[in-house]
Amino acid sequence: MHTQHHPLRGAPLGTQREIVSFHYGRRNGGRKVYVQASLHADELPGMLVAHHLREHLLALESAGRLRAEFVVVPVANPIGLGQTILRKQEGRFDLAAGDNFNRHYPALFDNVLPLLEGQLGSDAPTNAQLVRSALREAVNQLPEDTELMSLRKTLLGLACDAEVVLDLHCDCESLMHLYTGTALWPQAEPLARCMGAQASLLASESGDNPFDEACSRIWWQLEAHYRGQHPVPLACLAVTLELRGERDVSHPLAGADAQALIEFFVQRGLIEGEPAAQRALLEPATPLTGTDVIHAPASGLVVYLRELGEHIQTGEVVAEVIDPLSGAVHRLASRTSGLLFARETQRFTTSGRSLCKIAGAVPVRQGKLSSE
């Protein structure tokens, strides 16, 4: 194992932040896994999972069982970790620019295309390596005028050439679930089984280019662009893993999640070992367009009438927003049938705020699908 320090540019005078990455296994061996935690800096379950994962990887490296380079970034957002206001951490949005830390990553298709001109041939694995080389060069050329731009560039530089990219997040109160590209589901299904995901949400483009899509979407864009000319495989499985709710930080949960990741890596041939028996898929994958996000129509107290993990029917009332001054009660019904998998922690809401999510199989939304 070796450690790398990546200072961020653009920090205020007298301050300096850095990304620290831990590297296991053989570098430049052709296969690479990238795992980062807490890009939303106040989403902490992933940090503890990364801690347990590093212990596993160190032992596996000593035993000579790693068949790929594994890169782990336990603290992906030192900027957000430093944003404490009146004892409350603000880790989702950059206070300087107002940006969500997991949105607006550079879309690299236009940057990479000129670098591939005249390079690709008829062999898909060779083409994949050429694409990875072009991605590294394109990311290296990105500007980093601000500390946030430097953070994005650093994280992309560590992840852009990986075969597997796992971005560890959590929701407010939620079940284990994941987001990934529609075309990647055949590769992601074993991960969903290993992790016990109760919702797997698929989209070709969710909006605002989050980190996982910045790593993977270019592959199906290139595949479509060169179709019939040069084979380009979908050579980056990028997944946002939502490790339950923000309070689910415990050694039993994190230890089990880290072991499940190891199990997935063994199944994929990234770690030497006998694959475990395949686990059941707890819930079928659904389109992200089918997820009903219920919003508050007014300000007031939030009272949930159904619990996480319950299957909801179309038209069923899931929550109430109560105005304790006027006595008005707003009853909020689902537009879809599906699993209630996530909800807001705060029990007082303002008008327009999202309250809960139900994973349905039938599209009920279009346009930008990602939350703010």
Examine the fold and report which residue of 240, 267, 294 is the final residue of a domain before the chain moves on. 267
Query: Does any domain span residue 281?
Result: no
> What pLDDT shows up at residue 372?
80
Residue in this structure with the two tokens 């899931």, named with its chain if needed: 318
- Do 162 and 305 lie in one domain? The reply is no
- Do 352 and 221 lie in one domain? The reply is no
- Do 260 and 293 lie in one domain? The reply is no
- Do 116 and 201 lie in one domain? The reply is yes
- Do 262 and 215 lie in one domain? The reply is yes
The answer to whether the beta carbons of residues 291 and 319 sit under 8 Å apart is no
Query: Does any domain span residue 273?
Result: no
> What pLDDT shows up at residue 302?
99
Q: Which residues form the domain of 319?
A: 286-360
Looking at the 3D structure of the chain, how many domains does it have? 2
Query: Does any domain span residue 272?
Result: no
- Do 175 and 207 lie in one domain? The reply is yes
Query: Does any domain span residue 190?
Result: yes
Query: Does any domain span residue 189?
Result: yes
- Do 263 and 305 lie in one domain? The reply is no
Query: Does any domain span residue 132?
Result: yes
> What pLDDT shows up at residue 28?
74
Q: Which residues of the chain have pLDDT under 50?
A: none
CATH number at residue 315: 2.40.50.100
- Do 261 and 307 lie in one domain? The reply is no
Q: Which two structure tokens, joined as six digits, stand for 107? A: 């879309």
Q: Which two structure tokens, joined as six digits, stand for 104? A: 């607006």
- Do 203 and 326 lie in one domain? The reply is no
Convert the pLDDT of each residue in 228-257 to its tens digit.
Answer: 999 999 999 999 999 999 999 999 999 999
Examine the fold and report which residue of 233, 267, 301 is the final residue of a domain before the chain moves on. 267
- Do 131 and 217 lie in one domain? The reply is yes
Query: Does any domain span residue 367?
Result: no
Whole-number Å distance between alpha carbons of 116 and 127: 9
Task: Write the burial class of residue 252 (CB in 10 Å: 0-12 exposed, 13-18 middle, 19+ buried).
Answer: exposed
- Do 211 and 305 lie in one domain? The reply is no
Q: Indicate the pTM of the whole model.
A: 0.97
> What pLDDT shows up at residue 119?
96
- Do 182 and 234 lie in one domain? The reply is yes
Query: Does any domain span residue 276?
Result: no
Examine the fold and report which residue of 234, 267, 300 is the final residue of a domain before the chain moves on. 267
